Structure 1
Amino acid sequence: MGFFTKDVDKDKWKNKYLELLNVQQQTADMSREKEELLCKAIIRLALAASGFNAQLDQYLHSIRHHLEKGIDSSTLKKDLEHFIDTLGGLNADNYKSSSDTGFLFDFLLRQYTDTQQQSALQALRNTNTSDNQEQLFNTLLAIINLDVPSAGLVEGIVNQIDIKIVSDQLLRLLEGIDIPIVFSQQAHAVKQELVAVNTAVPFVMLLDRSISLLLQIKQHNQLERQDIDKFLIHITEQLAELDQTVHGANEVALESELRRSKLDQSLSEQIEELQLTSNNATKLESLKEIINDRLIKITTEIQDYNQKESARRKKTQLQLEELTQKVKEMDAESKELKSKLERASAQAFRDALTGLPNRLAYEDRLHNEYARWKRYQMPLSMIIWDIDLFKQANDEFGHKYGDEVLRTISKKLSEHCRETDFISRFGGEEFTMLLPNTDKAMAVRLANQLRYVIEQTDFNYNGRQLRPITISCGVTEFMDDDTSETAFERADSALYKAKQQGRNQCCSD
């Protein structure tokens, strides 16, 4: 019959089918792009949050591992649930308090070997559940039977210890820890007093101030950790929401695939029935009626499919827009946290008084330079500087004058060293320098140039021109079997030699 041919009908439905496939492919491509963006953002956030807690790190690592291969909703959801449970179970303060109490009992059990005292201490340890530290300490005092009055106890302890050794150890402790910028002035004052301490009573007061400072720093760090914990909880909640959104989008895509498959099957069946009917038809009018009914049914199914697909596309688009917005928010929060961590890291590696890199920065740079030296065997030299008679000048003119001397010398050394040289404040009046691609002879020449610059610098205080300040140094070059420690020891010995020979000079090993 002329108005209907099998080939034309097949081409018509084939084109419609291909058009639907093209729309589906575009939607799938868009979903993949959004999924890749989501994976990258979550991986970056997981990396930024790593390192704060060992329990959480294993889940963060697992999340990153799965996302590097794409989103697996069931696996990701399981990881996130474990992560949330672990995060909710953390209580840093209680853990730290329990740990501190455990260390105290361990110490007392080692110190007091009397059987009765041991039994009482162990019994108290097993039954102690109170957070009242004063009550705990009173009970401990009763067990160990301390009859010495507290004032006499302190005086007796002070008389038995070497104040200089304890002061030096406290000073090393303060030099070695990361001091928040808000405590830099207070810490500097305590360091200066530790350097100048010479009597028992001031030492007791200074010891109290040192402990108070350390406790304040500890509390400050705990608050920062709590802020980070809150941020991690917030990120975890957002990750869970994102997982639900992605899971919902996947379900919608599966439903769409199922509906399209049903439509394809129905269209194929309708066309086959239509072909069979047309082949068996004997009257034109009845054939027209059959064809019209079939076409109406096919058209209705296609329209219904298109309406549902349109609604699905709108829903998916809304989900993707919501997903994109959440990813942007998380990315912004991640960048903010990264910026804060970078600022905190910069402060941790910088000496607050002089502005020079501190001992932590020196150790980090030394590690890198040492590895480079071992690999390429290019010369590497080290200089240790020490200000001559600094403590004497500090005692004579006061701490403010000493601070000004440290700042001035730091500035001069920084201005006159080479761009490739690394100078840091090692602690107190000591400075260290690392000189890449520099042999010992060249390092000695450079050291003497810097020493001369300091010698020619005018030092004024309260309008008075004071005697010149000089510095001495020890120089060494890394050798075949050196470690960073052996090289440092040689440079330190050379510095001692320079001091013994009259100061204001540079000696090499």
Structure 2
Amino acid sequence: MGFFTKDTDQDKWKDKYLKLFDEQQKLAITESEKQALLCKTIIRLSLAASGFDAQLDAHLQSIRDHLERGIDSNALKQDLENFATALGDINTLSSGKPSPGTGLLFDFLLRQYTSTAHQAALQALKAVSESSEAVNHEQLFGTILAIINTDLSAADASDVMANQIDIKIVSGQLLRLLDGIDIPTVFSQQAQTVKQELLAVNSPTPFRVVLDKSIDLLLKVKQHNQLERQDIDKFLTHITEQLTELGQTVHGASESAMESELMRSRLDQSVSAQMEALQISSSNATKLESLKEIINERLMCITLEIQDHTQKETVHRKKTQLQLEELTLKVKHMEAESRELKLKLELANAQALRDALTGLPNRLAYEERLQNEFARWKRYHMPLSMIIWDIDLFKRVNDEFGHKYGDEVLKIISKKLSEHCRETDFVSRFGGEEFTMLLPNTDKQMAIRLANQLRYIIEQTDFNFNGKQFTPITISCGVTEFIADDSAETAFDRADNALYKAKQQGRNLCCDD
């Protein structure tokens, strides 16, 4: 009985072992199938990703080759690490343009997330990514995750999209507004700081802070302009009062002169009447004594008339003299105020036409000079060229070293452009890191040569600020020459397109249209 029990236990263990062995074989087969499927999937994905970048293509080919040895290959692990590193480097150096794979990503997401809210949010985000000139991939992917990981209502979808759309639009409009208004000198540094922060902001929290700063700056500018307007109103009121007083003084002096003339006329008439009466009385007199009395009486009357006139004339002369002295003082006072106002206006005009940070002529000065040069070009048909400059990767300078260092870079480049251009050339700061140059009596070939000389000078410049050095800092430009039927706008657009071509071809270049 005991022997039977022992054989039975052995059979049970044997059956259990065989069962486990079968299960293990099945698991091994399943795992092998999964690995094969995974290898196929990776190969297909690598083939789909080929063609976007030559550096990545080499890594993808190596990955496909090593997949033949199995998924546990050490070489495959190393290839995957190298691929991840290369992908990170390319993402860091990306120019911000949407990659071709972005459309495939959105097509996949739209098939996976079919709710109305998800579809609306993803479609809107796709449209933004395709239309934007510069795409922040980190922000783009963060927004995608926010959409797909949230149960979106219609309101939620628009809230998620606000971060992607409104920040860029509002920042751009604020920059245009700040560039388009005259910033008083006292606020120039604050305005420069706000502009740099608007260029750098890319998330909602700091954007709200920068938006508050922008509104605060605009309110200060408005208040400053209102105070200036009040001062001008007061000055004009004061001038009006002075002119009124001046008019009254002149009127008084004129009345005194007329009164003096009237008194002299009366004296003449009186003397003439006395002489006529004397003549008549003399002709009728028969005795010498009576004639003497008549003559003495008439002479006495004439003397009294002359004395009275003399006294009145003296009083009027003194009054007129006082009026003339008062008038002279008022005119001198008004001349002094006029000179002071002229100096203030000249200073204000000079400040309005100068960029506060770099000291170069600003955009308003550029537009005035462009009108003059354009009119001269149309009249005399002498060649006229335009150059638009832009500092390469200037945002990286601000991000890595701060806006103060960026301001120093702007000052140095402004100084170099101003010092090394010709005396007849006009260089101005157009806005941000952009500069413009007008070159009278210069054709396109000569302008290209001059531009390359300036570009080389900037390239060879050492940029140091408080021990920090960021070299090389380079600058690119677009060049054009005014041609028949041109307008200022069409010439500017051609130069701007040439600048874009220089950026696309690798930067640190001068391209013509």
TM-score, with structure 2 as normaliser: 0.67
Q: Classify the secondary structure of the residue corresponding to 2:483.
A: coil
Pick from 394, 397, 404 the counterpart of residue 400 of structure 1. Answer: 404
Deviation string 1:109-144 (CA, Å, 9 cap, x unpaired) is xxxxxxxxxxxxxxxxxxxxxxxxxxxxxxxxxxxx
Deviation string 1:57-105 (CA, Å, 9 cap, x unpaired) is xxxxxxxxxxxxxxxxxxxxxxxxxxxxxxxxxxxxxxxxxxxxxxxxx
Extract unaligned runs of 5+ from structure 1.
Answer: 1-151
Q: Classify the secondary structure of the residue corresponding to 1:507.
A: strand
Give the distance between the partners of 1:299 and 1:184, measured in 2 at CA: 79
Pick from 272, 278, 283 the counterpart of residue 282 of structure 2. Answer: 278
Stretch moving more, 267-276 or 303-312:
267-276
Instruction: Indicate the residue corresponding to 2:208 in structure 1.
Output: 204
Stretch moving more, 255-264 or 410-419:
255-264
Does the alignment pair 1:434 with 2:438?
Answer: yes
Deviation string 1:462-502 (CA, Å, 9 cap, x unpaired) is 32443211111111111221111111111111111111222
Tell me which amino acid in the other structure corresponds to 1:347: Q
Instruction: Indicate the residue corresponding to 2:462 in structure 1.
Output: 458
Deviation string 1:395-425 (CA, Å, 9 cap, x unpaired) is 1222112111101000000110111111100
Q: Classify the secondary structure of the residue corresponding to 2:506.
A: coil
Tell me which amino acid in the other structure corresponds to 1:231: F
Q: Classify the secondary structure of the residue corresponding to 1:445.
A: helix
Give the distance between the partners of 2:457 and 2:374, measured in 1 at CA: 29
Does the alignment pair 1:176 with 2:180?
Answer: yes
Alpha-carbon offset, residue 157 of structure 1: 8.6
Instruction: Indicate the residue corresponding to 2:363 in structure 1.
Output: 359
Does the alignment pair 1:254 with 2:265?
Answer: no
Alpha-carbon offset, residue 160 of structure 1: 7.2
Q: Classify the secondary structure of the residue corresponding to 1:420.
A: coil
Instruction: Indicate the residue corresponding to 2:295 in structure 1.
Output: 291
On the 8 A contact 2:354/2:360 being kept in 1, the answer is: yes
RMSD over equivalenced CA pairs, Å? 1.9
Taking structure 1 as reference, are residues 332 and 159 closer, same or farther at Cα in structure 2, changes over 3 Å only?
Answer: same
Taking structure 1 as reference, are residues 161 and 497 closer, same or farther at Cα in structure 2, changes over 3 Å only?
Answer: closer
Instruction: Indicate the residue corresponding to 2:490 in structure 1.
Output: 486
Give the distance between the partners of 1:290 and 1:352, measured in 2 at CA: 92
Does the alignment pair 1:476 with 2:476?
Answer: no
Give the distance between the partners of 1:373 and 1:489, measured in 2 at CA: 18
Deviation string 1:418-448 (CA, Å, 9 cap, x unpaired) is 1111110000110001111222222111111
On the 8 A contact 2:397/2:470 being kept in 1, the answer is: no
Q: Classify the secondary structure of the residue corresponding to 2:423.
A: coil
Taking structure 1 as reference, are residues 224 and 247 closer, same or farther at Cα in structure 2, changes over 3 Å only?
Answer: same
Q: How does 1:94-493 map to 2 (within 5 A)?
A: 158-159=162-163, 161-493=165-497
Taking structure 1 as reference, are residues 268 and 197 closer, same or farther at Cα in structure 2, changes over 3 Å only?
Answer: same
Alpha-carbon offset, residue 278 of structure 1: 2.5
Tell me which amino acid in the other structure corresponds to 2:209: M
Taking structure 1 as reference, are residues 467 and 401 closer, same or farther at Cα in structure 2, changes over 3 Å only?
Answer: same
Q: How does 1:75-86 map to 2 (within 5 A)?
A: none
Instruction: Indicate the residue corresponding to 1:45 in structure 2.
Output: none
Give the distance between the partners of 1:447 and 1:318, measured in 2 at CA: 68
Alpha-carbon offset, residue 360 of structure 1: 0.8
Taking structure 1 as reference, are residues 265 and 280 closer, same or farther at Cα in structure 2, changes over 3 Å only?
Answer: same
Give the distance between the partners of 2:449 and 2:277, measured in 1 at CA: 101
Q: Classify the secondary structure of the residue corresponding to 2:473.
A: coil
Deviation string 1:264-313 (CA, Å, 9 cap, x unpaired) is 11122122222222233322222222111111111111121111111111
Tell me which amino acid in the other structure corresponds to 2:198: L
The count of residues paired between Structure 1 and Structure 2 equals: 358
Tell me which amino acid in the other structure corresponds to 1:171: L
Does the alignment pair 1:508 with 2:492?
Answer: no
Stretch moving more, 317-326 or 442-451:
442-451
Alpha-carbon offset, residue 156 of structure 1: 7.2
Alpha-carbon offset, residue 217 of structure 1: 0.9
Q: Classify the secondary structure of the residue corresponding to 1:162.
A: helix
Structure number with the bigger relative contact order (C-alpha 8 A, sep ≥ 6) is: 1
Give the distance between the partners of 1:242 and 1:334, measured in 2 at CA: 15
Tell me which amino acid in the other structure corresponds to 1:321: E
Deviation string 1:240-285 (CA, Å, 9 cap, x unpaired) is 2112211211211121121111111112212222222223332222
Alpha-carbon offset, residue 165 of structure 1: 2.3
Q: Classify the secondary structure of the residue corresponding to 2:439.
A: strand
Deviation string 1:143-183 (CA, Å, 9 cap, x unpaired) is xxxxxxxxx99967944743122212111211121111111
Deviation string 1:352-386 (CA, Å, 9 cap, x unpaired) is 11111111111111111112222222221111111
Give the distance between the partners of 1:300 and 1:153, measured in 2 at CA: 108
Tell me which amino acid in the other structure corresponds to 1:234: H
Give the distance between the partners of 1:311 and 1:461, measured in 2 at CA: 77
Give the distance between the partners of 1:460 and 1:160, measured in 2 at CA: 36
Extract unaligned runs of 5+ from structure 2.
Answer: 1-155
Instruction: Indicate the residue corresponding to 1:43 in structure 2.
Output: none
Instruction: Indicate the residue corresponding to 1:140 in structure 2.
Output: none
Q: Classify the secondary structure of the residue corresponding to 1:458.
A: coil
Tell me which amino acid in the other structure corresponds to 1:359: R
Tell me which amino acid in the other structure corresponds to 2:449: R
Give the distance between the partners of 1:438 and 1:288, measured in 2 at CA: 102
Give the distance between the partners of 2:158 and 2:466, measured in 1 at CA: 40
Alpha-carbon offset, residue 348 of structure 1: 1.2
Identity %: 78
Give the distance between the partners of 2:157 and 2:358, measured in 1 at CA: 40
Stretch moving more, 421-430 or 452-461:
452-461
Taking structure 1 as reference, are residues 185 and 312 closer, same or farther at Cα in structure 2, changes over 3 Å only?
Answer: same
Alpha-carbon offset, residue 190 of structure 1: 0.6
